[in-house]
Structure 1
């Protein structure tokens, strides 16, 4: 009797076991994964786009690793990713290397700003001009109560404490943008330090420099270090509620980075964007220290690097995703605080490039 009961029980449970086995062994159907890496400057925005897009199109998965513009450019060159995010445009020598493998495309994807943030107890609404900022990051100005800083902030209770400078330790588009700005406003900075994704900071030799990996690493170090100053992307500063410096712009006004001051700067410089098939021709100097009373001086586009041709299925997925990014993704409800969506005519430049992508 027991035997018969056991047999009946097994027969009854058999469909259930079969169903479970079938569920675990059947692979996902028609899911295409797109891989990307690069700049941490637009990373919060890219992650939001991915989250929103995957909800409406679960058959396309996008994985993005923030490792700095230089890391993304290298991954793209080596064929490790399908797209890269880079803040500064690719230089001509790398562009020529890419052309030996296929036709690269590069275009703006979002607008952001590099802001100067600080951790000085009791000091709010700090104002700096370009020359003073450059002198701080060169190490020429050592203390917070230096006469140059006091002259710009006569009512601030500035402490006699050494200034600790925090900068990126990795190859960074944010650093390239920031140092290019400092070169524009200070001939001495250009001669002694120069601009680049990686530079030799004089403050490191003076014992007052600290490096952080990625924008997140810079922000974490700043929060832990009193009397420090750093540069980072606006979205990170807003997320962490950091104090931001009001910078003196080309018109002589002290401005904080926000949607209004970023849009003012973009409106003055958007004519300088080259064709996506000649992306290396873009000069970020033309986008910095823009004209206009309300223009924030360190505004920059973040860019996407794509190929003009991909394997057929992947080409379709990439076209769908980046078409969405350049249309729905630019709407204010889909843009992270701290970024500004592209003007429609700038988004059109990228859309035409995306539509030209071919499947082979």
Structure 2
């Protein structure tokens, strides 16, 4: 299922606000098309909505596709920018070196959710190792001793675990499987990390695939005894239970804005200072990161953009959107996301400068 979220709000903004930002011809409208990751969709929707209220001559769209499809369509030329949880791989970056920019723009968390009617919204504890065994198909029942020992005092049902994963090529899925590998490399090898891995549990007949975060959430809500992984904001929106996951320090933690920001601040120091740089592998900096209170499946998501556009007005519109996120985006955060820390804001501002320079050059 693809959801085309077309944000076409044209509310009156002050003439001063409109003219100070973009020098467009009278009545001229600039259209900017984006698409890709479902992970940041609720936040991008909010940012675009508020940006267009202030910039009525800009129309922005974002198509809910998944990271893999977003990258593909960006390079095919049908999108002006892509949203992608993982950055470009090194080989792809080398191919487009100097022509493409990437900015980790937003912090979120992948959470493990479940439907256990006997427990309601009670929190259960899980480890990366147990999750890897569940997604391999090695743990079959909810009351398996390896789950039960993590949850003393909780009566888990003797019911088969129905495992839900992403049926589309998904950055959320890459983040989750990277966590499984880092937490239990002997159980979850590197070849099972990716946007569309082959889950061993699928061969057992106890697995279902959902399209997008919303598709996984729908299955878990509707089907008892399921387990799945989704972006945190989707769990908040649907009032779904969220497991506490053991972090690198051996503590069971649930996500919080403060823990996401702490992970991001430390990780941002390892990033390139130029948005044209190589960001491949940067998920390793935030997934299963060190820190007593660190949530272990923290992730950031990226905007992928060209360094120049054939239409200078489009370049200026994209540049202003990046600047707006850096300077005003914190005011409009959706529950479940953390705003970019200062080093990421500087990357956004530098990307805006590069686009403005290209527009001025014609």
Q: TM-score, normalised by structure 1?
A: 0.88
The separation in 2 between residues aligned to 1:282 and 1:314, in whole angstroms, is 30
The separation in 1 between residues aligned to 2:211 and 2:318, in whole angstroms, is 29
The separation in 2 between residues aligned to 1:95 and 1:342, in whole angstroms, is 23
The separation in 2 between residues aligned to 1:268 and 1:351, in whole angstroms, is 20
Unaligned 5+ residue runs, structure 2? 1-25
Q: Which residue number corresponds to residue 237 of structure 2? A: 239
- Whether the 8 Å contact between 2:322 and 2:351 is mirrored in structure 1 is no
Q: Which residue number corresponds to residue 209 of structure 1? A: 207
Q: Which residue number corresponds to residue 69 of structure 2? A: 71
Structure 1 runs (4+) greater than 6 angstroms displaced: none
Q: Which residue number corresponds to residue 104 of structure 2? A: 108
- Whether the 8 Å contact between 1:84 and 1:305 is mirrored in structure 2 is yes
How is 1:14-33 mapped onto 2 (pairs within 5 angstroms)?
29-33=27-31
Q: Which residue number corresponds to residue 24 of structure 1? A: none
Helix, strand or coil at the partner of 1:277:
coil
Helix, strand or coil at the partner of 2:293:
coil
Q: Which residue number corresponds to residue 216 of structure 2? A: 218
Q: Is structure 2 residue 78 aligned with structure 1 residue 80?
A: yes
Q: Which residue number corresponds to residue 314 of structure 1? A: 314
Q: Is structure 2 residue 226 aligned with structure 1 residue 228?
A: yes
- Whether the 8 Å contact between 1:273 and 1:282 is mirrored in structure 2 is no
How is 1:1-360 mapped onto 2 (pairs within 5 angstroms)?
29-99=27-97, 103-123=99-119, 124-191=122-189, 194-274=192-272, 275-310=274-309, 311-329=311-329, 331=330, 333-357=331-355, 358-359=358-359, 360=362
Helix, strand or coil at the partner of 2:187:
helix
- Whether the 8 Å contact between 1:262 and 1:295 is mirrored in structure 2 is yes
How far 1:262 moved relative to its partner? 1.5
Flag the structure with higher helix content: 1
Q: TM-score, normalised by structure 2?
A: 0.88
Root mean square deviation, CA, Å: 1.6
How far 1:242 moved relative to its partner? 0.5
Task: State which drifts further: 78-87 or 274-283.
Answer: 274-283
- Whether the 8 Å contact between 1:181 and 1:285 is mirrored in structure 2 is no
The separation in 2 between residues aligned to 1:256 and 1:340, in whole angstroms, is 14
Deviation readout 1:248-281 (Å, 9 max, x if unpaired): 1111111001212212322332222223212344
Q: Which residue number corresponds to residue 22 of structure 1? A: none
The separation in 1 between residues aligned to 2:83 and 2:289, in whole angstroms, is 24
Q: Which has the larger radius of gyration?
A: 1
Distance change (3 Å), C-alpha of 1:308 and 1:249: same
- Whether the 8 Å contact between 2:36 and 2:63 is mirrored in structure 1 is yes
Number of aligned pairs? 330
